[in-house]
Amino acid sequence: MRWEAQRIDGTDPQALLPLKGLVRSVRTPEFDGVTFHEVLCKSALNRIPARSSMPFTWTINPTRGCLHACSYCFARKTHEYLDLDSGADFDTQIIVKTNVVDVLRRELARPSWQREHVALGTNSDPYMRAEGRYRLMPGIIQALADSGTPFSILTKGPLLKRDLPLLVEAAKQVPVSIAVSIALLDPDLQQRLEPGTPDPRARLNLVRAITDAGLGCNVLAMPVLPWLTDSEEQLDALHAALAEAGAGDVTTGALHLRPGAREWFMAWLAREYPQLVPRYRRIYGRGSYASKEYRTWLGERAGRIRRRHGFDRRAERMWRERDAASTPQESPPSVEPAQPALF
């Protein structure tokens, strides 16, 4: 179906939102309840503020807002900068930078570009379903590889499989690091917690496909939810499934509740598990992070389980193989603290 035919009739797109570079706003029956706002961006590479603890300096977000609709997503707050809300609007009002590849190529060609590591998947999932329609990632991957720029991708989207041949070729030119986000195996809880995401089985298959392509794949098992996904049995089963799928390493971390995510997640918790609300208030207080006691307890449990499933040895092997196989090398950065949105 031609999207041109899906333009929102009777409205002036420029009046719809105070979005810079807005070309048109479209809806399509394939994406029920979703509006895509197609914009022409002025820049593709975003510099991370120097005060940030992220282990990279640059990100690319071809989209803003995310169809995966994770209730804990702490990129939600960024939608408020667009005069949209951090709740339902984040899940349904998606900004698409349709010219991102052209702009990126121009930026990468500047003599001042230092070819620093670029991270994708920090504020929106680059392989959410909409990528099937807009196909922005192949051009981005090609542009980064052609310019000699190392990059990493974090996703929950099996659509990445489409680009595996391209990623394999890119990895011959630059260091490429791929991580998949899977923090639970229960499809019922996943559907309620992250209603737009592919189910855990599909994501395990994605890990397998990436590994089989010879690229290596880490997993972010985040966020772990107190009393919901943190039992010995749950974490053990998760690590067993990840080992079976061929994951190179697993990084586990407790839920963060930063402003924007906090309100949305706590409303979800009150609906789904009202009995847990006082307990969450106890360990989160008014802050964004679980208490130190909880984080220490979880770290010890997860560390023990990680070793039980051999991930310390796997991780070492994966980086050794990657170092041996890659070209002008620097160690790929750890993905652990790198993802502001996806855990």
Q: Which residues bind ligand SF4 (CB under 6 A)?
A: 66, 68-70, 73, 75, 124-125, 156, 341-342
Nearer to ligand SF4, 73 or 335 (CB): 73
In terms of phi and psi (left: phi > 0; alpha: psi -120 to 50; beta: otherwise), the region of 65 is: left
- Minimum distance from residue 94 beta carbon to ligand SF4 (Å): 11
- Minimum distance from residue 88 beta carbon to ligand SF4 (Å): 12
Nearer to ligand SF4, 142 or 155 (CB): 155
Nearer to ligand SF4, 203 or 309 (CB): 203
- Minimum distance from residue 184 beta carbon to ligand SF4 (Å): 13
Residues listed for the chain: 343
- Minimum distance from residue 166 beta carbon to ligand SF4 (Å): 21
Nearer to ligand SF4, 235 or 342 (CB): 342
Nearer to ligand SF4, 205 or 301 (CB): 205
* Strand 35-39 to 22-26 pairing: antiparallel
Where helices occur in 185-309 by DSSP H, the ranges are 187-193, 200-212, 232-245, 261-272, 277-284, 292-308
Picking from 102, 99, 89, the residue whose alpha carbon sits closest to that of residue 36 is 89
- Minimum distance from residue 18 beta carbon to ligand SF4 (Å): 22
- Minimum distance from residue 30 beta carbon to ligand SF4 (Å): 19
Q: Are the CB atoms for 119 and 338 separated by under 8 Å?
A: yes
Q: Are the CB atoms for 213 and 172 separated by under 8 Å?
A: no
Nearer to ligand SF4, 145 or 222 (CB): 222
Token couple for 183: 């923090």
Nearer to ligand SF4, 69 or 178 (CB): 69
Nearer to ligand SF4, 38 or 125 (CB): 125
Q: Are the CB atoms for 151 and 120 separated by under 8 Å?
A: yes
- Minimum distance from residue 223 beta carbon to ligand SF4 (Å): 9
Rounded Cα–Cα distance for residues 224 and 123 (Å): 19
List, in order, residues 6 or more apart from 104 with CB less than 8 Å away. Answer: 44, 45, 60, 139, 140, 143, 144
Helix 100-108 to helix 137-146 angle, to the nearest 10 degrees? 10
Write the DSSP string, 279-313.
HHHHHHTTSSB--HHHHHHHHHHHHHHHHHTTHHH
- Minimum distance from residue 251 beta carbon to ligand SF4 (Å): 15
Rounded Cα–Cα distance for residues 151 and 108 (Å): 13
Name 180's bridge partners.
155, 219
- Minimum distance from residue 46 beta carbon to ligand SF4 (Å): 15
Q: Are the CB atoms for 159 and 133 separated by under 8 Å?
A: no
Nearer to ligand SF4, 66 or 298 (CB): 66
